[in-house]
Chain A
Amino acid sequence: EVQLVESGGGLVQPGRSLRLSCSTSGFTFGDYAMNWVRQAPGKGLEWVGFIRIKANGGTTEYAASVKGRFIISRDDSKSIAYLQMNSLKTEDTALYYCSYRTGQFDYWGQGTMVTVSS
């Protein structure tokens, strides 16, 4: 059974950093690009970024709203994806999901809440 479990969320002050983890099981993690998506309270889904598989360079792409502040990485040996969030702003307050998709199969975690507030 495929499982994705996000962790690391919490309350953080503006300007500080936080690292989220996406722990996975049930599939060959290294074979799939991993996405991060967020949803602010009462708002729509927003794509944050993704990381390619190592065979495709393991490179990353980001939404303009987080580029230069957020960094996505992966540890294939542990089947974990990370989202390092720096210089956090109040508008980064959201439920953060990790996900991956292969064809018709689309998997999401339950999300981890990040609240940026003084």
Chain B
Amino acid sequence: SYELTQPPSVSVSPGQTARITCSGDALPKKYAYWYQQKSGQGPVLVIYEDNKRPSGIPERFSGSSSGTMATLTISGAQVEDEGDYYCYSTDSNGIQRVFGGGTKLTVL
């Protein structure tokens, strides 16, 4: 079955740039989506269709995709950005959906 691979953890100091990667064979052809999940809360969409930001999401969140890797970038990460981040996409047939394993972002 199709898989998306993320690093288990990323740690940055406040104000630094955090980059979270997501690797998958179908990403050259399929969009990546990114979710933020804070402790005890439901998932929140922060990036859709590779690089689009939903209204209400701070401008410091951006997304990109090149080849088999999608990247979520948080420019000037803040303490309130701590949480788990998941990429989401589909297989090459557009049928099976999948989440990456999640990346725990620590900002301290």
Contact = CB atoms under 8 A, between A and B. Distances in A.
A29 interface: no
Interface of A: 35, 37, 44-47, 50, 61, 63-64, 97, 101, 103-106, 108, 110-111
B55 interface: yes
Interface residues of B, number: 23
Given A106-B45, A106-B48, A108-B42, A44 B99 contact: yes
Interface of B: 1, 35, 37, 42-45, 48, 52-55, 84, 86, 88, 95-102
B54 A45 contact: no
A35 B45 CA distance: 15
Interface centre among B86, B95, B99 (most CB of A within 10 A): B99
Given A44-B102, A64-B1, A111 B45 contact: no
A111 B86 contact: no
Contacts of B43: 37, 45, 97, 108
Contacts of B96: 47, 61, 63
Nearest to B54: A104
Given A101-B45, A104-B52, A44 B98 contact: no
